[in-house]
Amino acid sequence: MRISGTHVYYYFVCKRKLWCFSKAIRMEHLDENVQLGKLLDESSYNRDSGQVMIDETVNIDFIRDWKVLHEVKKSRAIEEAGIWQLKYYIYFLREKGIAIENSIIDYPKLRRREEVTLTESDVARLKEVMADIEKITTQQKPPKLEEKRICKKCAYFEYCFV
């Protein structure tokens, strides 16, 4: 299975959302928050090269000189997921022989940046996460619903609660 950055991101956001995504149950195109995020992503940092798709697996918002990764996020509401998504990108690229020196999450609306690094313990955790993603995505039924604060703004809200 090819694990994308979206898989990793959804793993930390919601296991049920991850399962839906893996089964091609896509609700994002209907969600206003997702559309706003895409618009922000497209309009921010337009002076830099746009999104870079690698091996039809990871889609990096932009990369400078093949050394510094940037991921653009609308808010810090689910910051942990964005951090692990970026750590996964570093890991993925290093596995391909690309020596990433630095990575940054950009929050243009907040005018903030967070530097993200990848440690050996992060690599071990990522391997556990990737194994768990494989397990979740091969299940016949979605994981049990875990109600969270972010559910009300989620693109999958109707799928889970209606």
Average pLDDT, the chain: 86
- Exposed, middle or buried by CB within 10 Å (0-12, 13-18, 19+), for 111? exposed
User: How confident is the model at residue 28, as a pLDDT?
Assistant: 65
Residue-range domains of the chain with CATH = 5-161 (3.90.320.10)
Contact 116, 103 (CB under 8 A): yes
Between CA 137 and CA 74 the distance in angstroms is: 27
User: How confident is the model at residue 87, as a pLDDT?
Assistant: 96
DSSP letter for each residue of the chain: -PPPHHHHHHHHH-HHHHHHHHTT---GGG-HHHHHHHHHHHHTTTTS---EEETTTEEESEEETTTEEEEE-S-STTHHHHHHHHHHHHHHHHHTT----EEEEEETTTTEEEEE---HHHHHHHHHHHHHHHHHHT-SSPPPP---GGGGG-TTHHHHH-
Q: Which of 38, 37, 126 is nearest to 84 (CA)?
A: 126
More confident residue, 141 or 32: 141
Q: Which of 58, 14, 68, 61 is nearest to 42 (CA)?
A: 61
pLDDT digits (tens, 9 = 90+) for 57-97: 889 888 888 889 999 888 878 889 999 999 999 999 999 99
Between CA 125 and CA 16 the distance in angstroms is: 20
User: How confident is the model at residue 95, as a pLDDT?
Assistant: 95
Is the confidence at residue 40, as pLDDT, over 90? Answer: no
